Structure formats: structure tokens, C-alpha cells
Amino acid sequence: MKKYTVLVLAALMLAGCGDTSKIDKIIEEKQTTGSGEVTLSPADEAIAAEAEKAVSEEQEKLSDAVTTTQPPMVIAPDESGLKNGDIDLDLTSLNANMLYAEVFQITGDPDKYQDKKIRAKGTFNYMKDNGTEYFAVFIADAAACCQQGLEFRTAEDLTYPDDYPAIGTPIVVTGTFNSYKEGVFTYCEIKDATFEIAEE
């Protein structure tokens, strides 16, 4: 196999120079002998060795490039700057990009935020599935093309739609962050939540 690789590389290098007579001769010899063995002249062996060396160097460069790349950056919550009274994580003070990124981080690694007091601002949403009611605050990114939702559950026994705002109404939700499982899936929620209509 190695000989064929060298042969192909040598053929490519020779073809690049425009004179294909040597390649034609090698092909003709291979076809007539049928053995698959090719004997290269010293000049062709030197060319093949150079080609093999060049390929080897390129493979090393690619290998080095893959192993020296930086791992992806992970944004960890900076709890020291996010305290607001008894709130551990106040998302209402973040700009749209940071807010969306932080909510993405929360939903991606919920264990870091378990039992933290959290406040979030977004739009109210409601869904009923298999008899279970779900309430959420939807948080959009700066372009308003993508949304992340945080489910919330109130401590009080409220009735929808009487005790809740209309869907799409801006609200601020405050409560304790919690994650729970339904089947094999993990979901995030703000439990024991209170909510208020947000100022525009």
C-alpha cells in the first residue's frame, strides 16, 4: 500500500511539471509486468521521498492545529455582582444578549442554580398539556428571533385565566429555581413564584 501511495504522489508531482512521459512509462511497465511491483529510478525515488515527507509534515501541522485549539468558553454565573437584597440571581438588570445567554446557561446546567432565589423579566405564556397547566416567562434574545422559557409555579392557588395576565404580557417573576424530571427529561422551573406586570 505504501508503494502505491508513493507511486501516486510521484505521478502527481511529475504530472504537475507537464512532461508525462515518465508516468506513461511507469503505467506501461505496470500493465505489462502485471506483478504490481514498480521499480523507481533514483530520481523518481527522491521525488517520491520528498512527496511523502511533504504529506507527513502537513499531517503533523493538522494534528498540531487540532490539539492546540482552545476549548469552548463557558460563561459561569458571577454571583457576587448579581445579589439584589434576598435575590441570588437578578436577571432583570441584564441587557437582552446577556439575559438570553444566562437563561441558556441556566437551562443547560440547572444544578448550579438549584434553590437559588431568582428574578426574571419576559413575556407571560400559558400551555395546557394532558390536563396539566404550565405557566412560563419567555425571554427573547436581542433580535427577538429566539426565546428561552422558564416555567414558573406560584405558591398561591391561582386560576387561569382569571388570576393571570394575558399571554404576551410583560411580567417579572420572582421565586426559587428548581429542576425536576418528567420521564427521562429534566425541566427547569421557578417554584413558589410571585409575578407582577412589568413596566415597559
pLDDT by residue (tens digit) across 92-145? 888 888 887 888 888 889 999 999 999 999 999 999 998 999 999 988 777 777
Task: Name residues whose C-beta falls within 8 Å of residue 189's C-beta, 6 or more positions apart in sequence.
Answer: 150, 151, 152, 153, 177, 178, 179, 180
Q: How far apart are CA 90 and CA 82, in angstroms?
A: 6
pLDDT, tens digit, for every residue of 37-93? 667 778 778 787 787 777 777 777 766 655 555 444 443 444 444 445 688 889 888
Among 2.40.50.140, 3.30.230.70, 2.60.120.470, 1.10.10.10, what is the CATH number of 79-197? 2.40.50.140
In Å, what is the CA distance from 87 to each residue of 28, 36, 80? 82, 77, 11
Residue type, 169: T
> For the chain, which residues make up each domain, given as ranges?
2-67, 79-197
Distance CA 195, CA 154 (A): 8
Report the run of H or E that residue 61 belongs to, with start and end. Answer: helix 42-67
